[in-house]
Structure 1
Amino acid sequence: MSERQYAAHVGLSRGAIQKAKTAGRLVLHEDGSIDAAASDKRRLETTDPSKTRKAPAPKLKPVPEAAVAAVGDTLREQGLSAPAVGGGTTFLQAKTANEVLKAQERRIRLQKLKGELVDRARAETLMFWLARDERDAWVTWPARVAALMAAELGTETAAMQKVLEAHVRAHLEELAQPRIAL
């Protein structure tokens, strides 16, 4: 092999091969070409391991399982194939999930700007006050109509109001049973 061919063979520069040749760490044929097999063996025996360059190991940070699970969830929500649990996520899948999340975030931001979305805390507060006003209206209704109903039926006003209040409170208790969970 020539110096260039041997340099490509071992992954070193031509200058490094020339230094090794000068230092006698290579086995040469009579015509000056390099005996690759014998030179590999001699270089291995004579080269100081502390002076060799090793390819740096890639420094990969571990990815939390929650992040990997979130990638899978996002992909599944969009109808795309997601890795099996513990199966590992490819870079392409993670990048696709990231792009999907960015698109969803932009869509939500646009809906907020258009006024199509409202703040959840504000909506819950408004619903609370609306429900309270409705309940208060029903609680005060028997006192307002008891006298009119008693006059139409020819009964005592206090008894009519007492019966109406009991039935309205029972009805409000029934209405309070289903809980809305947002």
Structure 2
Amino acid sequence: MGISIRAYARARGVSDTAVRKAIKVGRITALADGTIDPAQADAQWAGNTDPALQRKEATPSAVKVKPATAATSAAPPTATASAAPAASSSPVAGGVGVATGGASLLQARTANELLKAQTNKVRLARMKGELIERAQAIAHVFRLARNERDAWLNWPGRVSARMAADLNVDAHALHIALDAAVREHLAELGELRPSLD
């Protein structure tokens, strides 16, 4: 059995509304009977609270527990026995964390900082010229391939007359044969589909 919410709030130096809100959102957990274990709650409060968002440093003072009165000691043993497993069955990672299974504030902040670091690393690489935009790279490769295709299509017209003179054959027939061979070869190359993944 722990202490009441108001007693914990006084010991913590906060309002009982703040303690109730912390229980509701899962920053701290209450025992099955609605009381609070001060040591466990202090550890959870420290682990699940963002220090940057605190208005003032909450310094928990020593919690004074009233001695058991006749009313509390007369409680049936079955009630305390059933409350103990219920309190211990709530999963709290290492005593610090949100019992509802969500990520703690510290884990969320860590993930956020990692994301910022990765984003800054990519920005720096882009500023240094080590990275380029994917769309720009695709457009550049497309222009290069189109220029090379056009150069190959113009090649038979440039060399067919000279080759015909060297081989002593009809220039027009050689030009048509070279042009057909080049177009056939370019059609085969056009069937290749590079993967951009």
TM-score of the pair, normalised by structure 2: 0.48
Counterpart of 2:139, as a letter, is T
Work out which of the residue numbers 109, 116, 121 in structure 2 matches 1:107. Answer: 121
1:121 and 1:147 mapped to 2: Cα distance?
A: 41
Unaligned runs of 5+ in 2: 8-67, 77-100
- Superposed displacement of residue 121, structure 1: 1.4
Larger relative contact order (C-alpha < 8 A, sep ≥ 6)? 2
Evaluate the alpha carbon distance shift between residue 170 and residue 101 of structure 1 in structure 2; reply closer, same or farther with a 3 A threshold. Answer: same
Q: Which residue of 2 aligns with 1:117?
A: 131
SS in 1 for 2:194: coil
Say yes or no: does 1:174 pair with 2:188.
Answer: yes
- Superposed displacement of residue 97, structure 1: 3.9
Unaligned runs of 5+ in 1: 1-5, 14-32, 42-87
- Superposed displacement of residue 35, structure 1: 1.9
Work out which of the residue numbers 130, 151, 157 in structure 1 matches 2:144. Answer: 130
Evaluate the alpha carbon distance shift between residue 40 and residue 94 of structure 1 in structure 2; reply closer, same or farther with a 3 A threshold. Answer: same
Counterpart of 2:72, as a letter, is A
Evaluate the alpha carbon distance shift between residue 98 and residue 178 of structure 1 in structure 2; reply closer, same or farther with a 3 A threshold. Answer: farther
Evaluate the alpha carbon distance shift between residue 118 and residue 12 of structure 1 in structure 2; reply closer, same or farther with a 3 A threshold. Answer: closer
1:169 and 1:96 mapped to 2: Cα distance?
A: 58
- Superposed displacement of residue 181, structure 1: 3.1
Cα deviation 1:66-114 (Å, max 9, x = unaligned): xxxxxxxxxxxxxxxxxxxxxx774466554433322221111001111
Counterpart of 1:36, as a letter, is A
Number of residue-to-residue matches in the alignment: 111
Q: Which residue of 2 aligns with 1:146?
A: 160
Say yes or no: does 1:37 pair with 2:72.
Answer: yes
1:9 and 1:100 mapped to 2: Cα distance?
A: 39
2:111 and 2:192 mapped to 1: Cα distance?
A: 37
Bigger Rg over Cα: 1
For the aligned residue pairs, the C-alpha RMSD in angstroms reads: 3.0
Counterpart of 1:137, as a letter, is A
Q: Which residue of 2 aligns with 1:52?
A: none
